[in-house]
Amino acid sequence: MSQFELTDKVAIVTGGGGTSHGIGRCIAMTFAQAGAKIVVVGRHEESLNKVVEEINSAGGEAVAIVADITDPAQVDGMVTKAMAAFGQINILVNSAGGSTFGNPEDLSPAEWNDCISLNLNGTCLCCAAVAKEMIRQGGGKIVNIGSSSGIKGEEHAAHFAAAKAAVINLTRSLAISWAIHSINVNCVSPGSVEVPDHGIPDMPDDEYSKRQKLQSADAGSLGLPGTPQDVANAALYFASPGSDIMTGENLVVRGSEWASAYA
């Protein structure tokens, strides 16, 4: 299975502190198991340290860097610190993101801006800052985490859906721009993801029960929400040599949930 290994690679995983869906945390742990050295990035030092500790105690190698990815200076600092820690950056996973929920007509300008800033601007800042280093090094792999909301729209999270649609399109543009530098840029777009025993964090009850109704009773496990591991597996595929010729693509990981979007 060497085509899916990350031996001797260095991966930055933003949103790796497991603050919301636990996707970033799961990606960090999975990549460590696949052989990569991990730089876990997030705002909350305590939760970052927990992930680092888990990776290190399982025989992996990880460091935590506290950074707010919406702040260009902190993003530059992240790259400098990662280089100081491991001397190279081969993989970037932009997993930091999140959303509030509400009716679009009730969204405040601040809520809209915060959401675009975190999900789109933060991703773009990290891509640009890390790509400069990757260009110098002769290549790399960038995996953005989009969302199926960015394709199908989202009734109670228009700002999030718009930002994620932009991330999917940004992926394509960066892939074109950086192909000559041997940087693959791809996107993984999860549908509903549930953290075992935690449901979908921050989601209002009515939204949650509506989603559950959409999950067809006879659809088996493909009809259920995905897990952070499902997303991490796809991210690993795009970070590994197994996808060396793929760039600009968006892989949607949502079981048969898509069916409800077209019904």
Partner 1 sequence: MSFNLEDTFGLKDKVAIVTGGGSGIGEEISKAYARAGAHVVVAARKQERLDRVAEEIREMGRESLAISTDVTEPEQVDNLLKKTVEKFGHLDIMVANSGGGGFPPLDKATLEDWDKQINLNLDSAFLCDVGAGKIMIEQGAGGKIINISSTAGINLNPGLAAYAAAKAGVINFTKTLALNYAGHNINVNCVAPGFTATPGIRKAGYVPPDRRKDGTKVPPLLMPNEPYHVADACVFLASEASSHVTGELMIIRGMLHMERSDDVNRDRAHLVR
Residues forming contacts to partner 1 in the complex (CB under 8 A) are 1, 3-5, 29-30, 32-34, 54-55, 58, 175-176, 179-182, 184, 216, 218-223, 226-227, 229-230, 232-234, 236-237, 241-249, 251-256, 258-259
Q: Which residues pair with 39 in a beta bridge?
A: 12, 63
- Give the separation between CA 231 and CA 75, rounded to whole angstroms: 24
CB of 11 to partner 1, least distance (A): 14
Say how far apart CA 46 and CA 216 lie, in whole Å. Answer: 39
The smaller minimum CB distance to partner 1, of residues 204 and 241, is found at 241
Nearest CB to partner 1, comparing residues 49 and 121: 49
> Can you tell me the distance from the alpha carbon of 93 to that of 12, in angstroms, rounded to the nearest whole number?
6
Q: How far is the CB of 103 from partner 1 (least distance, A)?
A: 30
Nearer to partner 1, 136 or 204 (CB): 136
| Closest distance of CB 226 from partner 1, Å | 4
The answer to whether residues 48 and 42 touch, using CB atoms and an 8 Å cutoff, is yes
Give whichever of 55 and 158 is closer to partner 1, judged by the CB atom: 55
* Least CB distance to partner 1 at residue 110 (A): 35
CA distances from 157 to 53, 99, 259 (A): 34, 7, 20
- Nearest distance, CB of residue 118 and partner 1, angstroms: 25
Nearer to partner 1, 107 or 224 (CB): 224
